[in-house]
Structure 1
Amino acid sequence: MTTTPAPRPPEPAIARSLTLHLRGDWGMANLHRVCGWISQELTDRCGPHTKIAVWNGRGFTDAVRAVGHGEVHVALTTPAAFAAAALDGRGIHHGEAFPELRALGVVPQRDRLVVGVRRALGITSFAELRAAKPALTVATSVNDGVNHVGLAAHELLERSGVDVRGWGGTFLEDERPFESFDHVLAGRADTVVHEAVMLPHWQEFGGDMHFLEVEQDVLDGLRADHAWPSAVIEEGYFPGCPRFQTLDFSDFLVLTRSDLPEDVAYAIAWVLGETRDLLERQYRHIPPERSPVTYPLDPVAMGRAPIPLHPGAARYYDALPTD
């Protein structure tokens, strides 16, 4: 006996031509790649004079504000959970709320923000770090109110009672992770607070690091005040490293506003879920646990966003087969 597969959500066809503005990352990273994928597949299903521009950005609070201010129609930001505070203007979005923000979907990326300290310092916990008060040289991202890595790194260290400058230390701050990793590999930094843990750089220097578990009260406070979730790094993910708990830094959130036309929102969600193979195939040469995009992509999971879905996008995810 054969069973008939459950029908997929219907393919969109928008007769009118669109002009849309998307915002990605600096230009050569994963958010821009996702924007290119959306642009190509959406254009194929819209009117003949459709034009879609992808603007450079940074992928952090700038992306959220660009959508909230109506500068672009769609933007990507990471980690996904950090956008939730913008709905009511709390935490890193204090003083400027964007209640009209809506999600079109989530592109899964399993990532963490971690704190690594050179083994030569003999420090294995935040309690030992506070007791020793060493003069650290910390490689991380810029703390400029935009970069989520720099924002989270400074917030996490402060709440953990780590006074880098007060102890005579310094920060080496850059925009992208590669410069920070270069500081560690070249011996200019003895501490790193960063994400993109799937990149091969961590395997190069991870064996020389003690990774500090973030204390539960700190994680609880970050969740309560900023809606930032926690997660674990499994044993052996870094060379010789035990399992530990830290800050979750996962997923790319595809953002828009509630005033995006419903058929456009449905079409973008459909592209994310139904043409996902086009993105996956660009990462399949990398094991999933080391990939910047955690494949295989699951459309149901892509519809679980930290902010409300746009009704058009929800129409797509609600139409997915449940079996």
Structure 2
Amino acid sequence: MSQTATDAQRPPEPDIARSLTLHLRGDWGGANLHRVCGWIAQELGDRTGPHTRIATWNSRGFVDAVRAVGRGEVQVALATPSAFVCAALDGRGPYADEHYPDLRALGVVPQRDRLVIGVRKSLGIGSFEELRARRPALRLATSVDDGVNHVGVAALELLARSGVDIEGWGGELLLDERPFESLEHVAEGRADAIAHEAVMLPAWQEIGADLTFLEVEPEVLDGLRADFGWPDAVVEEGYFPGSPRFRTLDFSDFLVLARADLPEDVAYAIAWVLGETRHQIERQYRHIPPERSPITYPLDPVTMGRAPIPLHPGAARYYEALPGWEAAPAS
């Protein structure tokens, strides 16, 4: 097929004559969600009216970002992991008191991530069964469990369902907001266990050889999926130095979300930007091997349209126009 014929099959480029004022929410300011917001803002600004203004607000990228969209504080936000947003539609977990059935997806930016539990090899513990039998006084580093931080919420829920009581066994929880502090606690000897994500960070390779990563028991994973919609996934053999393959909680992907009342042409334009200008964000990560990259490239527009919550109709119009959309398996 010629290049011209291929181009002719692509969804049409958006051209919005009016100027927009949009508010986005990314991350704390220096991580990957903010980069994605900057990419969207630049490419959308090129295809809208001359007085378009797009602001990116600092965020945590978790429950707070979802609430900001649901409450109409911003038009678009990114949240990770993407599957955790499903609970906001029908009021499960942290959304029991306030949920948002009109949340819609504009697309998914892939990040293959996992939430893992690692303990010092010197402790001689190789499973949750052994951990429960030994009941060691662990100093465990993870994120704050404040009902907002998905890492802390998930880690402590997983540990509780696994029969692990860190403080009840005489141990200590070292709670921080971001993974960097938790990884430093292990590297500098302040912690002898960790429950966290961002497994592609180089710091995991530096501490991983000293850790045994615990496989989460099937009944725990099944319960988390049934109650909250949290999926599970594997970490392949050798991803951490000397580690075998194991199954744990999936913590993948950045969900770009809005409400159903976002204008359809804007939703289409943002979806088009995600799929058709993906090289702009890919080039920022190509110096990193894909399996170690904070954004898992190469990006595939069809896959980016397979969101865990319903697509906005405007975004759906973009993805459904892609060659191969109908043949792609549903998420």
Corresponding residue for 2:214? 212
Contact kept? 1:20, 1:73, Cα under 8 Å: yes
RMSD of aligned residue pairs (Cα, Å): 1.0
Corresponding residue for 1:156? 158
Corresponding residue for 1:230? 232
Deviates more, 1:285-294 or 1:94-103: 94-103
Question: Which deviations, in whole Å up to 9, do the C-alpha atoms of 1:85-115 show, x marking residues without a partner?
Answer: 0001112211211001000000000000000
Corresponding residue for 2:59? 57
Deviation for aligned residue 1:2: 5.8
Corresponding residue for 2:109? 107
Residue 135 of structure 1: which of 121, 134, 137 is its match? 137
Q: Distance in 2 between matches of 1:94 and 1:220?
A: 20
Corresponding residue for 1:196? 198
Question: Which deviations, in whole Å up to 9, do the C-alpha atoms of 1:16-67 show, x marking residues without a partner?
Answer: 0000000000000000000000000001000010000100000000000000
Secondary structure at the aligned position of 1:87 is classed as helix
Q: Distance in 2 between matches of 1:85 and 1:230?
A: 16
For 2:91, the aligned partner's letter is G
Q: Distance in 1 between matches of 2:66 and 2:161?
A: 25
Secondary structure at the aligned position of 1:205 is classed as helix
Question: Which deviations, in whole Å up to 9, do the C-alpha atoms of 1:91-148 show, x marking residues without a partner?
Answer: 2211211001000000000000000000010000000000000000001001111100
Unaligned segments of structure 2, at least 5 residues: none
Secondary structure at the aligned position of 2:28 is classed as coil
Check if 1:118 corresponds to 2:138.
no
Corresponding residue for 1:96? 98
Q: Distance in 2 between matches of 1:198 and 1:39?
A: 26
Q: Distance in 2 between matches of 1:304 and 1:222?
A: 22
Contact kept? 1:25, 1:57, Cα under 8 Å: yes
Corresponding residue for 1:308? 310
Residue pairs, 1:78-93, within 5 angstroms? 78-93=80-95
Q: Distance in 2 between matches of 1:104 and 1:281?
A: 22
Residue pairs, 1:41-56, within 5 angstroms? 41-56=43-58
Question: Which deviations, in whole Å up to 9, do the C-alpha atoms of 1:263-316 show, x marking residues without a partner?
Answer: 000000000000000000000000000000000000000000000000000000
Deviation for aligned residue 1:321: 1.1
For 1:170, the aligned partner's letter is E
Give the TM-score of the pair, scaled to structure 2: 0.96
Q: Distance in 2 between matches of 1:321 and 1:230?
A: 30
Question: Which deviations, in whole Å up to 9, do the C-alpha atoms of 1:235-259 show, x marking residues without a partner?
Answer: 0000000000000000000010000
Equivalent pairs: percent with the same residue?
Answer: 77
Q: Distance in 2 between matches of 1:317 and 1:307?
A: 14
Q: Distance in 1 between matches of 2:130 and 2:68?
A: 42
Deviation for aligned residue 1:7: 1.3
Contact kept? 1:92, 1:226, Cα under 8 Å: no
Residue 36 of structure 2: which of 34, 37, 42 is its match? 34
Residue 23 of structure 2: which of 21, 46, 49 is its match? 21
Check if 1:295 corresponds to 2:297.
yes
Corresponding residue for 1:242? 244
Corresponding residue for 2:173? 171
Q: Distance in 1 between matches of 2:56 and 2:99?
A: 25
Unaligned segments of structure 1, at least 5 residues: none
Question: Which deviations, in whole Å up to 9, do the C-alpha atoms of 1:138-174 show, x marking residues without a partner?
Answer: 0100111110000000000000000001000011010
Corresponding residue for 1:74? 76
Q: Distance in 1 between matches of 2:17 and 2:253?
A: 32
Check if 1:251 corresponds to 2:244.
no
Task: Give the paired residue count.
Answer: 323
Deviation for aligned residue 1:193: 0.2
Q: Distance in 1 between matches of 2:151 and 2:313?
A: 31
